[in-house]
Each structure stands twice: as C-alpha cells, then as structure tokens.
C-alpha cells in the first residue's frame, strides 16, 4: 500500500444542484432541495415531501439511445461519472483501460425498474412483464453500465451496503490504487428516488412531515432523496505528472458492524468505526477538523451518533464541527456517503464547512457543534466522513487536504 491516492475529478447530481460548482455553492448557502414529490401520487401517505432531482435530463450527458435501455439509477451514476471525467480533465485514451475501473455503492439499485415489473405483474399478470426489464434490474448493472459507457476494462465492482455504500466504494477503490492493482478508479454511489423506499420508511414512521432537522430537539425524521456522487481517484504521481487539480487526498478508511439490530443504530459500533479511523491514520481527536455526520434527523440515529462521537473524541467532541448535509439533500441512500465525501473534499480544499440547516432548538442529548444554519470559514486539514446503514454497517472515510 505505497501509492498515495488523490481526488482529481468530482461529479455530483443532487436535489440542490448538478455539477461540482452548483452543488458546492448551494450547499454553503444552506439551500434546501426538499420539495413536493412529483414522481408518484403520495395522497395515500402521511408525508408528501422528498429530495427529488427535478432538473435532471440524462440526454444532456448520455447518448439518447443508451438511456432507452437503462434505469434511472444508472442514468444518475453514468451522468455523474461523465461530470467527474470532464472535471478531472483526464484523457482516458492516455491510460491503460485495463487498469481503469469502477467501484460503485447503492442501496436500492434499479428500484424503479423493479416497480415497473411489479406494476405489470399485479395489473396484467406475469406473462405481460417485459423481459428486457429483468436484465435492467440487478444491482450489478449500475457498475457495468458505467464501465461500458466509459470503456473501462479494469476492476468493476458494486457494493450494496445500503446507506454506507458510497464510503465503502471509495475506500475500496482507493485500496486498489494503493496496492497497484489499478491506476484510475471512478468511485461513488447512486440511487434513484424510490417509491419502495418511501413506503418502507413511512411504515417505519421515520419520515418527517415537512423538513429534516438533524440534532434538533424537535426532529421528526428523515427525508427520502435521490442522487449520485462520483469521484475520479488516481495516484498522486499520475496527478502531478499531468498537472491535474487535486481536491484532496484519501488518507484511509475504516469499517465496523454494530451486530445489534437490522434498523436501529447502536453507538458502540459507530464509535468503533471512528476509533479505527483515528488509529489507521495515526491521528488523535485533536487532529480532526471536521466530521460530516450520517445525521439522518431521526431521534435514534442522531442520539446514538452523538453518543459515539463523545465516546471517541472526549472533550474535543463539543468543539468539533459536525454537520449533516442531509438537512438539505434528504437521504440519498447509496449515494449519501459518496456525496458527503465530495462535500468533505471540497471542505478541506476550500477551508469552508457546510452547515446543518433547519436547526432551531438545542437537544441536551445532541450537545455538539452542528454548524447550525450557516456555513463556517475555518482551516480544515482533516475531515471524517462518517456513515451508517441498515444491518449496522458503518464506514468512515478520512479525507486530507493535499499540500
């Protein structure tokens, strides 16, 4: 593991903006991407808002002929990868395609395709299901479609570890470069807005009626969202040789499992992941300048996450800036930690920490510095991107300013 790995390209599609520049500006203005759901009728549900991407037109990024044969999640992922490629100024033809690959995370995969299959089956019967839909559904198509689009013939992985999947994917992609098994990796996560997820989280009584308020005493839940975040990773040596703009360095990452409950978070598992991240990088709590929290806005998640932060960071916990951008984007499922990794990379690049919006009333159980409502100019050299997922899967990506 001798190669240093850096981020040289950023592609993001979110409810607050498409493309690095638009996303970053909206994030630091505290823009909310939450709006009335338009993709399906919510009249039978108690909640009606979500983080849909309303201004996404895949033909702006992809060959229109391709979009007829893929699902929306693949469209989001492939478009974000195209944006990342353009942002990196990378000439793929100058690299060995067999050493250039893809590692993507997802929670739901091509869920909208599954919804089409289900609708046809229920309304008309099994024999009326379009066979082409079956080939578009498996989660692996997300990575294979992206690889085929960019003609990347190297490692091709899909990591479906739910809402921590983006961190898993970026971390593993960085391992492939560090170990010399790949030169270039497109890594991140994607999920399209899903009626299945919306129904499921409503049945868990986990969706807020109008807005997401992480760490607020009166928080009422999360918001279902969608999006994609993809970064271009390459060896530092390669980036310097081609004089690429370097956003940040991937220092290391850590993983843990709560082994506790399928949906309920548990502070000890989260704390173990954060502690592993410190140890893996040889850092102390005082070295960390910013922590991008999982911060869903549900009572249980925020309480347990704050408890974990206190266990690991001790006295530093009350001074450490900890914000949740899900307050603006909603919960983008498998895309969440990849988009949050992008936010961390831009935070260390620009010494600017994004806020937690909708914060109104302090909660004694969440007595952290959540960077309430307004972004903060602050020297930021090390950022932790902490994520958790159903099944108790936790991942923490450590992002460092490149100097």
Q: Which residues are catalytic?
A: 163, 294, 331
Contact assessment for residue 322 and residue 368, using Cβ atoms and an 8 Å cutoff: yes
Maximum alpha-carbon separation in the chain? 63
3 state DSSP class of 233: strand
How far is residue 12's CA from residue 299's CA, in Å, rounded to a whole number?
Answer: 28
3 state DSSP class of 279: helix
Whose CA is closest to 105, among 52, 185, 161, 30?
Answer: 161
How far is residue 278's CA from residue 314's CA, in Å, rounded to a whole number?
Answer: 13
β-pairing, 382-389 vs 248-257, is unpaired
CB contact set of 156 (below 8 Å; sequence gap of 6+): 101, 102, 103, 143, 144, 147
Q: How far is CA 98 from the centre of its chain?
A: 26
DSSP letter for 188, please: E
How far is residue 219's CA from residue 48's CA, in Å, rounded to a whole number?
Answer: 17
Q: At what angle do helices 195-203 and 111-123 cross, to 10 degrees?
A: 90
Q: How far is CA 116 from the centre of its chain?
A: 25
β-pairing, 382-389 vs 393-400, is antiparallel
């Amino acid at each position: 593991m001798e190669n240093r790995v850096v981020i040289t390209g950023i592609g993001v599609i979110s409810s607050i903006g498409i493309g690095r520049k638009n996303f970053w500006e909206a994030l630091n203005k505290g823009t909310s991407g939450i709006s009335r759901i338009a993709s399906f009728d919510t009249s039978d549900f108690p909640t009606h808002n979500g983080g849909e991407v309303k201004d996404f037109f895949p033909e702006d990024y992809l060959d229109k002929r391709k979009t007829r044969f893929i699902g929306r999640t693949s469209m989001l992922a492939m478009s974000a990868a195209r944006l990342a490629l353009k942002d990196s100024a990378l000439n793929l033809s100058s690299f060995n395609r067999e050493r250039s690959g893809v590692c993507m995370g997802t929670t739901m995969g091509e869920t909208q395709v599954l919804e089409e299959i289900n609708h046809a089956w229920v309304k008309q019967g099994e024999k009326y299901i379009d066979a082409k839909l079956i080939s578009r559904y498996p989660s692996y198509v997300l990575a294979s479609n992206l690889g085929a689009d960019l003609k990347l013939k190297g490692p091709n992985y899909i990591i479906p570890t739910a809402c921590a999947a983006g961190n898993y994917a970026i971390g593993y992609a960085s391992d492939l470069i560090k170990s010399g098994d790949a030169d270039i990796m497109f890594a991140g996560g994607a999920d399209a807005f899903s009626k299945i997820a919306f129904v499921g989280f409503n049945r868990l009584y986990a969706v807020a009626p109008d807005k997401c308020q992480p760490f607020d005493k009166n928080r009422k839940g999360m918001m279902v969202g969608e999006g994609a975040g993809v970064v271009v990773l390459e060896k530092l040596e390669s980036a310097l040789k081609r004089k690429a703009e370097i956003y940040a360095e991937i220092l290391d990452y850590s993983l843990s499992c709560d082994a506790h409950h399928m949906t309920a978070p548990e502070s000890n598992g989260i704390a173990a992941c954060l502690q592993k991240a410190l140890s893996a990088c040889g850092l102390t709590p005082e070295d960390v300048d910013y922590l991008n929290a999982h911060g869903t806005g549900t009572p249980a998640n925020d309480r347990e996450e704050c408890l974990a932060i206190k266990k690991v960071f001790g006295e530093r916990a009350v001074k450490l800036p900890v914000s949740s951008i899900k307050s603006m984007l909603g919960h983008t499922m498998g895309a969440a930690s990849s988009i949050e990794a992008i936010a961390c990379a831009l935070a260390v690049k620009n010494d600017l920490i994004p806020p937690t919006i909708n914060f109104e009333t302090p909660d004694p159980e969440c007595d952290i510095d959540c960077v309430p409502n307004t972004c903060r100019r602050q020297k930021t050299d090390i950022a932790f991107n902490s994520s958790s997922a159903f099944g108790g899967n936790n991942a923490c990506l450590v992002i460092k300013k490149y100097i």
